[in-house]
Amino acid sequence: MSNYSRRQFLTKATAGAALLSAVPGISSYANPIVPYQGKKLRVALIGLGYYAEHRLAPGLSESKYCELAGIVTGTPEKAAKWKAKYNIPDKNIYNYQNFDQIADNKDIDVIYAVLPNSMHKEFVIRGAKAGKHCITEKPMALNAKEAEEMIAACKKANVRLFVGYRLHFEPFTMELKRMVKDKELGKIKVIETADGFKAGDPNQWRLKKALAGGGAMFDVGVYAIQGARYGSGEDPIAVTAQEYKTDPVKFKEVDETIFWQMEFPSGVVSNSVTTYASGTERLYVSGENGWVELRPAYGYGPLAGKTHKGPMNIPHTNHQALQFDGMGQAILENKEITATGEEGLKDMKIIDAIYRAVASGRKEKIV
Which residues have a catalytic role annotated? 138, 223
In single-letter form, the type of residue at position 303 comes to L
Using N-to-C axis directions, what is the helix angle for 171-181 and 222-232, rounded to 10°?
A: 40
328: exposed, middle or buried (C-beta count within 10 Å: 0-12, 13-18, 19+)?
Answer: buried
Three-class SS state of 189:
strand
Amino acid at 9: F
Question: What is the C-alpha radius of gyration for the chain, rounded to an integer number of angstroms?
Answer: 20
SS3 assignment, position 221: helix
Question: What is the chain's length?
Answer: 367
Q: Is 293 helix (H, G, I), strand (E, B) or coil?
A: strand
- Residues contacting 70, CB < 8 A, separation 6+: 42, 43, 44, 45, 88, 92, 93, 94, 102, 105, 107, 108
Give the helix ranges, DSSP H, for the chain: 15-21, 50-51, 57-62, 76-86, 120-129, 144-157, 171-181, 209-212, 216, 222-232, 319-332, 341-360
* Nearest one of 266, 296, 241 to 189, comparing CA atoms: 266
